[in-house]
Chains A and B, each alone.
Chain A
Amino acid sequence: DIQMTQSPSSLSASVGDRVTITCRASQGISNSLAWFQQKPGKAPKSLIYAASSLQSGVPSKFSGSGSGTDFTLTISSLQPEDFATYYCQQYNSYPFTFGPGTKVDVK
């Protein structure tokens, strides 16, 4: 199975900050990488697929990059609605696997 790791596990940031989250796969997954946002008590929301493609309706402040084993999610200017937990997921091969999540909270 492909193991996914994320760093940091949590971070504190202020409104307006640029935030970067890293995701690493235990083996190469090409660009088969997705990012999701989840707020407490809510379903996950899809942000990015194919490592860098924005899902329909997702604001351009979110961006993704990477290929192979190393990926990043960047929020260009953090807004109050962006405080949440972010997960990466590989869908290159079964079983699909998620990273453990990165919680972004208020500094």
Chain B
Amino acid sequence: EVQLLESGGGLVQPGGSLRLSCAASGFSFSGYAMSWVRQAPGKGLEWVSTLSGSGASTYYADSVKGRFTISRDNSENTLYLQMNSLRAEDTAVYYCAKDKKGYNPGGFDYWGQGTLVTVSS
């Protein structure tokens, strides 16, 4: 059974940093691209970033480029999102999502339960 479990969310001041983790199980982690998607309170879904299965290719939304870094540890089956220079508009539930493919996008098939990030003073 595929499981994705996010952690690391919390309250942080504007300008602060936070690192999210997504622990994966039930599939061959290194074989699949992984993504982060966020949802601000009462709003729709927003794609944040994608990392290929090998870790060689990264993609970011313009809204987070230069501030967020996606990475993975295939030996630990874990996806990360390092978030720096956080802003109030980054407040959201952050979901990790598994792609059906390793490199070329194939669509998300599994999602984690989400972790809430609140940026406020």
Contact = CB atoms under 8 A, between A and B. Distances in A.
Interface of A: 32, 34, 36, 38, 43-46, 49-50, 55-56, 87, 89, 91-92, 94-101
Nearest to A51: B107
Interface of chain B: mostly helix, strand, loop or mixed: strand
Contacts of B35: 96
B95 A49 contact: no
B114 A43 contact: yes
Interface of B: 35, 37, 44-47, 50, 59-62, 95, 100, 105-114
Given A49-B106, A95-B59, A44 B50 contact: no
B111 A43 contact: yes
Contacts of A96: 35, 47, 50, 105
A45 B35 CA distance: 15
Nearest to A97: B47
A43 B113 contact: yes
A56 B35 CA distance: 20
A87 B107 contact: no
A88 B46 CA distance: 12
Contacts of B61: 95
Contacts of B45: 36, 38, 44, 87, 89, 98, 101
A45 B4 CA distance: 13
A44 B95 contact: yes
18 contacts: A32-B107, A34-B108, A43-B112, A43-B113, A44-B37, A45-B111, A46-B109, A46-B111, A49-B107, A49-B109, A50-B106, A87-B44, A91-B106, A94-B50, A95-B47, A97-B47, A98-B45, A98-B46
